[in-house]
Amino acid sequence: MTNELEQLVLSKAQKWLDGDYDEATKRQVRYLMEHDRKELTESFYKDLEFGTGGLRGIMGVGTNRMNVYTVGMATQGLANYLKKNFAGEQIRVAIGHDSRNNSRMFAERVADIFASNGFQVYLFDALRPTPELSFAIRELKCHSGVVVTASHNPKEYNGYKAYWTDGSQVTAPHDKNIIAEVARITDIDQIQLGRNPENITLLGEEFDEIYLNRIHTLSLSPESVAKYHDMKIVYTPLHGAGVRLVPASLRKFGFTNISLVPEQAVIDGNFPTVESPNPEERKTMTKAIELGSKLGADLVLATDPDSDRIGVALRNGKGEYVLLNGNQTLSLLMAYQLTRWSELGRIDGNQYVVKTIVTSQMPNAMAKYFGVKCYDCLTGFKYIARIIRNNEGKATYIGGGEESFGYLAGDYVRDKDAVSACSLAAEAAAWAKDTMGLTLYEWLQELYVKFGFYREALVSVVRKGMEGAAEIQHKMADFRAVPPKSILNSPVVKINDYLSLETTDVQSGAKTPIKEESSNVLQWFAADGTVVSVRPSGTEPKIKFYFGVRAELKSVADFDRVEAELDAKIEAIKQELHLA
């Protein structure tokens, strides 16, 4: 640690010892000063950044950690912005939280601060899925909302996501304006606390029923569900917020044979049965797949701790459970919606779907086939929500999602919703069995024959702490300075740079503008259709590499061979980029 950095860290830590902080916090700061200077540096070398989505960080004492003080300063900054933006109005806000350690405490602190600022506050009486918070903002005509969650991050993390009047996470210009207001809160004495508790209204099971009823309006095949209501479904909430409402939604759709993984139906912010509560990882899904195998389940479902991401495992022809990646789950759910909307005569050319730029190209092909528009947007559900907002009154949204296991059907929620996605996945399985005699996995294979076999993969390179953040920035700079000329001998023909908002035609050198918000993403397009995207995560200390390849699949009989060829191609690309 340089002397200059050491002095900065010690000065900031001393302010916490001298300030109006609780004694337990001061004891922990003293301990770090005396026994763990490395952790002291990580805790104080900077302020936990209120980014465009809010806060996310490791819990603990210090300016660079999630605690009641950093949460409080963020909330007061948000409150100040709301008062400026909605001057003269009675401001209403909704607050939710997940199962993480300290989430309830943080949520109650947020509620206290908003109430102390004179707002009408709707606080859920216990943990709830993040999408229900988005729904509540719209249903209760709130001006803003906050959910306390770190999604699928490890147990050490917590987070804070801010929402706007339409129920989506904040976007420009509000995101930058809120950040500016939060930056003006430089002392905890600026936080308003302990006033107007009568301004807080608790939301309970009656509100859940309103949410579940709205989800049920998405049902497209009630006759198929009636025939296969006893289809075996295994579900795990991974110790999180889906524990009650996902099974309740499945039952409302008509399913009667739902088994929860008992050890993981226990609400616990330590996530004791998994290394990471992320349904993207096969290891995390082990217990659910084991129970599925034991029961012979048709469908194995999972949701992350705040129940906005969905994991799906299906049996293949050999009886083995295959964990779908996010692109496959999205493609299945979207194909089901598009097919049924078409069969029901709901498509007239004025409908659309949405996906993010790092997501599979398969939805684009499906949308074209069904005669609906497919929008591509930046990574993050708030950008999908923005497209929905811009199309209100002009076109009808069917569904949309992203490769990171998020899907949203219907527009009454403006964030990814695993509660509704689980119900639609189950209904799609019943419908496929009823109308085609196929399992959901067999139908996915048929979709590959129809639209092309799209195969994707993701590599995340983790670089933690101060040094890691700098390394990630250097990597992106190097890629911009010296992009690859080819990918597996196929020349790179196009480069999209979402930071400079330019598309470069590599052969001619011609540059055309990208009409989008600036974001630190690079994409390389090869002549053979391969796409590689690179972006630092906005919420985690990692840089992500997305790979997309495609081949024709003439028949399901060729599935295993073509899948192996595509996977081998992705592995070769990883090695070429020194990622394997």
Residue type, 435: T
Going by C-beta distance under 8 Å and a sequence separation of 6 or more, which residues neighbour residue 325? 280, 403, 456, 457, 458
In this structure, the strands spanning 486-487 and 490-497 are antiparallel
Q: Is 485 exposed, middle or buried (0-12, 13-18, 19+ CB in 10 A)?
A: exposed
What does residue 100 show for φ and ψ, rounded to 5 degrees? -65, 155
Structural tokens at position 215: 């989800």
H or E stretch including 353?
strand 351-356
Structural tokens at position 237: 């909430």
Q: How far apart are CA 157 and CA 54, in angstroms?
A: 14
Q: How many CB atoms lie within 10 A of CB 11?
A: 10
404 flagged as catalytic: no
- Alpha carbon dihedral 531, 532, 535, 536, in 10-degree steps, equals 150
Distance of alpha carbon 277 from its chain centroid, rounded?
13
E strands, 33-156, are 54-58, 92-97, 120-124, 144-148
Structural tokens at position 388: 């929905």
First-to-last CA distance in the chain? 33
Looking up tokens 């309970």 gives 204
Phi-psi region of 102 (alpha: psi -120 to 50; beta: other; left: phi over 0): left
Q: How many CB atoms lie within 10 A of CB 269?
A: 20
Pick the catalytic residue from 43, 99, 144, 151.
151
Angle at 95 between CA 143 and CA 99, to 5 degrees: 155
Do residues 217 and 104 make contact, with C-beta atoms less than 8 angstroms apart? Answer: no
Structural tokens at position 443: 């139908």
Q: How many CB atoms lie within 10 A of CB 552?
A: 10
Q: Tally helices (H) and strands (E) across the chain.
A: 18, 23
Q: Is 327 exposed, middle or buried (0-12, 13-18, 19+ CB in 10 A)?
A: buried
Q: Residue 140: which of 188, 201, 185 has the closest Cα? A: 201
In this structure, the strands spanning 120-124 and 200-203 are parallel
Q: How far apart are CA 139 and CA 132, in angstroms?
A: 10
What does residue 88 show for φ and ψ, rounded to 5 degrees? 85, -5
H or E stretch including 291?
helix 286-295
- Catalytic residues, by residue number, are 151
